[in-house]
Amino acid sequence: MKTILTGIRPTGNLHIGHYFGAVKNWCKLQNDYNTFIEIADVQALTDNFNDPDKVRKNVREITIDLLSCGIKEDTTIFIQSMIHEIAELTVFYSNLVTISRLYRNPTIKTEIRQKQELFGNNGESVTYGFLGYPVSQAADITCFNGELIPVGEDQTPLIEQCREIVKKFNSIYGETLTMPEQLLTKTPRIKGLDGNEKMGKSLGNAIYLTDTTEDVTKKIMSAKTDTNKIKKDDPANPEVCMVYYYHKLLENKNIETVCNECKNGTRGCVACKKELIEKMEEFLTPIREKRKYYKENPEIVDNVLKEGTNKAKKQAEETMNKVKNSIKINYFE
């Protein structure tokens, strides 16, 4: 059975972009693969080192979100910081990556640009830890012999960086590490309510799994529609409408009717939004129920994390032994 490894930063609750872009796929994959899901708290700290409370709180919150979405309790969910081998591997891998290569990594480049927009262009925002997180992510992946990595397209440069490290390691020290491969989701990126290409917390355009009916109603009522449609019975173009986009995402069975009525002006936006709110509620209700159950039973959640981390630890020790033998950091053995 092949091994799947994926990770998520515990910096906030999951929104439907995470669900449809990634977690839904993980729920399917977990049945057919040896699946590891890492709660990447160490990686989260690279950007949130001054807010440790947030990271800590979200370890459990994210785990609850994952379980509520359908990740099974016996799937291996583990806490990155508890696997010291990852930090150790990172040190050894850091010799195999140049600083200029890290600066050229497109994901890092984009993130540096975003930091500069926030903090100014003086280079003060780029820490050693931040610049090195692709190396640490390579350790996340190889530590568990991850073969397939189901992540969105924003992660492609990080998988590429990991593959380069694996190649270099194996060519210098002999075949040791497993070469990973990205497994792209069909919908790798979900658009926001405002039509932005990305749904994100900082963009304020997301629907969260924790949102109440009231939140959902408010958000959908203000979602972006075809701005050329002024009156209720104006014909419109569903392809530029976020309400139509989410009808599709939620696999509304009446999708053709929604599309045709929109195009020929027999469907007003308010009615269309109300129908979407109903569908969104149908989707969220079972998740909310499971959330409530796990919120009331935190010991079950912590147990999932403990067992997952134990299993991950065993695999990490095995990899670490192999790596140390390959690089001859085994003086007394």
DSSP 332: T
Q: Give the residue with the Cβ less far from ligand TRP, 147 or 261.
A: 147
Residue number of the CB atom closest to ligand TRP? 7
Cβ partners under 8 Å of residue 4, min gap 6: 26, 29, 30, 33, 34, 35, 36, 146, 147, 148, 149, 150, 183
- Do 162 and 133 contact (CB within 8 A), yes or no? no
Q: Give the residue with the Cβ less far from ligand TRP, 47 or 275.
A: 47
Shortest distance, position 22 Cβ to ligand TRP, whole Å: 8
Q: How far apart are CA 201 and CA 13, in angstroms?
A: 9
Shortest distance, position 134 Cβ to ligand TRP, whole Å: 9
**Amino acid letter at 147?**
E
DSSP 82: G
Shortest distance, position 133 Cβ to ligand TRP, whole Å: 7
Closest CA to 62 of 6, 28, 14: 14
Q: Give the residue with the Cβ less far from ligand TRP, 182 or 326.
A: 182
The residues of the shown chain that bind ligand TRP, judged by CB under 6 A, are: 5-9, 38, 40, 43, 137, 140-141, 149, 151, 155
Shortest distance, position 140 Cβ to ligand TRP, whole Å: 4
Q: How far apart are CA 295 and CA 63, in angstroms?
A: 11
Q: Give the residue with the Cβ less far from ligand TRP, 183 or 221.
A: 183
Q: Give the residue with the Cβ less far from ligand TRP, 43 or 326.
A: 43
Shortest distance, position 149 Cβ to ligand TRP, whole Å: 5
